[in-house]
Amino acid sequence: MKKFACTLLFCLAITSVLNAQNINNIADSILHGRRGLVHDTNVVGGVIGIYYKGETHYYTYGYTAKDKQKKVDNATIFEIGSNTKVFTALLLANEMEKGKVDANSYIDKYVDVNKNISNRVHLVDLATHTSGLPTLHDSASMVEITQLDSTCPYCVVDNKYILSLAKKTDKLNEYGSFEYSNYGFALLGNILTTTNHSSYDKLVKTNIFQPLHMNNSSAAMDTNDARMAQGYEEGERQPYIMLTGLAPAGIIKSDVQDMLSFIKYEMGVSHSTLDKAIQLSQQTWYSNSELAMGLGWFKAVEYGDTVYMMRGDTYGFSSLMAFDKQQQLGIVVMLNCKSGAPQRIFSYVMKQTAGQAPEYASKFEKPSIKLDSNILNRYVGDYKIMEGLSIKVFTENNELYIQLTGQQKGKADAVSENIFVSRDVKAEFEFVKNDKGNISKLILRQNGREIPAIRNN
């Protein structure tokens, strides 16, 4: 964490202005650059899809399996893991838009729950990870299901198990607070399939895949399709994920063309009968000081824009899908290995697109203003980010300087009485007052991220 923060503050500025033709250069860097996939020995193969300002681009790398030497292409099918949750949430939004369910209905209306949690959990809580119900990936849950089947723990989590857990759970863990939960989406999927008298595969196919023309996507268990990639972790072949009750949390398989097509519908570039349901799912249904949630979607502010994102991992696959409407940018990353690379790729693409957008860059082109030394001295002090890492603020020759622990100092120019910018590294520093009018913290904004630092007394 300390290394991340240091890199964040003193990264090099990029001065080139991006246009659609630069996407190929960005992809080339992702694939073949200093930190490119070609240098990652854990990556067997993958594909990246980018939609940017009206143009669609696909880039492939590597092989579908180590022993087959069949190259990954646009039709290669990958497990998408927890990206499945966005589709399950869209099923809920579709039912809401049709007036068939109320997001604020208690789950008691659909399943039997323990009397101690009766009339507590709403449907929308399941789709925003705020139900307080078990997660089914915490240590206690894993101990129980591993004891039932040590070779394939999630195989024992069928719909009967999902329903039994609702009945025996007599206490919610911090209801209303965010805690990522596979179980919440499994229960939501169970409710939706039961009320529609359907299987999950049929429900998502009829209500999403067919209307959106996602012909290469499936929630079925068949993995014999010749287009299906094999999954790996640290070079070792991994089994395909086998889910029954947990299917709504992570079972879908798809290719990059279908996934990028789905992103275009989410961005409003393409239109369908699901438009209103998509808009419902993108609303903010939960937020705290660190994150905001749509239905299934994580929402974040990157470079001043609202970005929708979700990622998924299985035993041998990693994937990510995200979009930024303001920049007209959509991205899908799919790898047949368990890896953190999709997140790094997304961050790099965002930096090269939204990070170079005129509206973001203009923040650092505002004219400087001269502040009285009395005002500057109000800000002098140490601001703690975390243990062992802080920002020192001091003055020299009536100028304000910022210095991160272990780094060189840098001059910050005032653009308002309490906001300063470092033009070289494109960082913004805002000094915030408490209720008593005293400076209590500093907020560092850079590369679309926001880091608070609390002033030491």
Q: Which CATH number fits domain 78-356: 3.40.50.2000, 3.40.710.10, 3.90.180.10, 3.40.30.10?
A: 3.40.710.10
Mean pLDDT score, 190-215: 97
Residue, of 355 and 455, whose pLDDT is higher:
455
Structure confidence by residue, pLDDT tens digits, 71-91: 999 999 999 999 999 999 999
Write down the pTM of the prediction.
Answer: 0.78
Contact 186, 245 (CB under 8 A): yes
Q: Is 304 exposed, middle or buried (0-12, 13-18, 19+ CB in 10 A)?
A: middle
Does the pLDDT at position 239 exceed 80? yes
Structure confidence by residue, pLDDT tens digits, 30-54: 887 777 787 787 889 999 999 999 9
The kind and range of the H/E element at 261 are helix 256-267
Contact 97, 295 (CB under 8 A): no
Residues above pLDDT 90, as percent of the chain: 69
Q: Where are the domains of the chain?
A: 78-356, 364-455
CA distance 70 to 68: 5
How would residue 426 be classed by pLDDT, with cut points 50, 70 and 90? confident
CA distance 314 to 83: 11
Does the pLDDT at position 124 exceed 90? yes
Residues above pLDDT 70, as percent of the chain: 93
Q: What is the pLDDT of residue 10?
A: 29
Contact 315, 238 (CB under 8 A): yes
Does the pLDDT at position 364 exceed 80? no
Q: Which CATH number fits domain 364-455: 2.60.40.10, 2.40.128.50, 1.10.3720.10, 1.10.10.10?
A: 2.40.128.50
Q: Across the strands, what pairs with 305? A: 302
Short-list 21, 31, 5, 121, CA closest to 348: 31
How would residue 5 be classed by pLDDT, with cut points 50, 70 and 90? very low
Q: Where are the alpha helices (DSSP H) in 169-240?
A: 182-195, 200-204
Question: How many other CB atoms are found less than 10 A from the CB of residue 160?
Answer: 11
How would residue 440 be classed by pLDDT, with cut points 50, 70 and 90? very high
Q: What is the pLDDT of residue 110?
A: 97
Does the pLDDT at position 4 exceed 70? no
Residue, of 30 and 364, whose pLDDT is higher:
30
CA distance 380 to 386: 19
Mean pLDDT score, 83-104: 97
Residue, of 86 and 447, whose pLDDT is higher:
86
Joined tokens for residue 5: 């923060």
